Structure 1
Amino acid sequence: MVLALWGCAGPSLEDYQGAEPALIPHEFFNGELSARGVVKNFSGAVIRTFDADIVATWEADGTGTLDEVFRFNDGEIQTRVWTLTPASNSYHAEAGDVVEPGTMRWQGNAIHMNYLLRVDYGDGTMDVRMDDWMYLITPDTLINQTRMTKWGVEVGEVVLVIQKKGAGSDPQSQ
C-alpha cells in the first residue's frame, strides 16, 4: 500500500533544484510573450486549440501583472489578468476568475502553482483545481502543463508553449 501511495506522489520543486536554465519569474515573464497550446479532455483527446498574447509588467515594489488574451479555435476569446504579489520566496497569484488564489513557487528551471479556477460549463460555471507546472527549456521558451481536477478526479489538461516575442524561435514571427 505504501508503494501504491508513493507511486501517486507527483514531483516536487526540489526535484528541479539546480536545473538549467534557471527560471526567474520576473525575468522570463517580462514584456510581450506569445503562447500556443491545446486543451485535452479527461481521456486525453484534444478538444480545443488556442493561441495567446501575454503582456507582462513589473512595478518597483516587485508586483507583477500578466495580461493574457486567449483566442480559441472555436472563436471564443478569454482574458485573464494575473496579479503577482511578492511573498516570502514566492508570489501570491490572483486573477478575476481564480476563486482560490495560488502561490507561485520556483526552483531551478521549474515553477509550480496550484489554484481553483472558475470556468464556463454548459449554462453555468464549474470550479476546477489547476495543478500548474512550467519548465524553462531555453531562455526564451517555456513549456506549461496543467492538470485539471474536480473532486480529485482528472477532468482535463492544458499543454502550451510560451515564448518571448522577438525571440528567434517565436512561431508568430516566422
Structure 2
Amino acid sequence: MKNKLNKCLLMLITVGLISSCSTNLDDYQQTHKPFDIKNYFDGQVIAWGMVQDYSNKVSRRFCVEIEGTWQGDQGVLAEKFYFNDGEISYRNWQLSKQADGSYQGTAEDVVGIAIGKHQGFAFQFQYQLSLEVDDETYQVSMDDWMYQLDEYRVMNKTSMSKFGINVADITLFFDKQTPIQTCPSVDKNN
C-alpha cells in the first residue's frame, strides 16, 4: 500500500507542476446579500456528499447531519457522518467569529487552527486535517469553498492535497429547508 501511495503521490506532483490554477475570494465581492456561515449554520442542516480520488473516481458517498449552536460569536457545529460503507463518524467544530468577520475553528481531527473568510456569496475555509487511511495517519491540506445558492442551499467543493498536490476532491450539497430530512441509518441512536 505504501509503494502504491508513493507512486500516486509522485504522479500527482508531476501533474500538479504541469497544471495549477486557483481562484481568489475577491472574485465574489459583488453580492446583494453576503453569505455568513454563522447565520446559515444555526440550527439543523443536512448535507449529502461524495469523495473523488485523484483520478476522479468516486470512492465514498455520505450523508451528514449538522446541528449548529451559537452563543454570541462562539459556535459549535456538531456533525454526524453516515458513509455508504456503514461507517459512522463525528466531528465537532468549535468556531469563533473574529472582529474582522473572518472565522477561526478547531476540531478533533484538525491540526492547528482553521481559518475561514467570506466574500459575497462565497466562504473559504483552509486547514490541516489528520486523516487515517489503512492504519496510517496522514496530514493533508484542505481548501474548502462554500457557495450559497439561496437562503436554504449551499454547494461545497473541497480540495484535499498533500505536498501541494491534489489527492482528492469532496463535493457536498447542504440543505436547511424545513422540514429537515435525516440521513438513512439502521440505528439513529448511535
Q: Counterparts of 2:42 and 2:52 in 1: how far apart (Å)?
A: 28
Query: Relative to total residues, which structure has the larger strand share, 1 or 2?
Result: 1
Does residue 94 of structure 1 match 2:112?
no
Aligned-partner residue type, residue 73 of structure 1:
N
Q: Counterparts of 1:128 and 1:10 in 2: how far apart (Å)?
A: 18
Q: What is the aligned-residue identity percentage?
A: 35
The unaligned stretches of length 5 or more in structure 2 are 1-16, 184-190
Once the two structures are superposed, residues 109-146 of structure 1 have per-residue CA deviations (whole angstroms, 9 ceiling, x without a partner) of: 00001100011111121111100000001110000100
* Equivalent residue for 2:92, pick from 52, 77, 81: 81
* Equivalent residue for 2:57, pick from 45, 56, 62: 45
Q: How does 1:135-150 map to 2 (within 5 A)?
A: 135-150=147-162
Once the two structures are superposed, residues 16-49 of structure 1 have per-residue CA deviations (whole angstroms, 9 ceiling, x without a partner) of: 0123552111111110000001001011110110
Once the two structures are superposed, residues 67-89 of structure 1 have per-residue CA deviations (whole angstroms, 9 ceiling, x without a partner) of: 00000000111100001112232
**Does the Cα contact within 8 Å between 2:63 and 2:83 map onto a contact in 1?**
yes
* Equivalent residue for 2:82, pick from 49, 52, 71: 71
Once the 2 structures are TM-superposed, how far is the Cα of residue 9 of structure 1 from its aligned partner?
4.0
- Name the SS of the counterpart of 2:159 in structure 1: strand
Aligned-partner residue type, residue 166 of structure 1:
T
Q: Which stretch has the larger CA shift, 105-114 or 8-17?
A: 8-17
Q: Give the aligned CA root-mean-square deviation in angstroms.
A: 1.9
Q: How does 1:109-148 map to 2 (within 5 A)?
A: 109-148=121-160
Matched with 1:12 is 24
Q: Counterparts of 2:123 and 2:159 in 1: how far apart (Å)?
A: 14
The unaligned stretches of length 5 or more in structure 1 are none
Does residue 22 of structure 1 match 2:24?
no
- TM-score under structure 1 normalisation? 0.88
**Does the Cα contact within 8 Å between 1:56 and 1:66 map onto a contact in 2?**
yes
Runs of 4+ off more than 6 Å = none
- Name the SS of the counterpart of 1:14 in structure 2: helix
Matched with 1:105 is 117
- TM-score under structure 2 normalisation? 0.81
* Equivalent residue for 1:35, pick from 37, 47, 66: 47
Change (3 A) 1:24 1:47: same
Q: Which has the larger radius of gyration?
A: 2
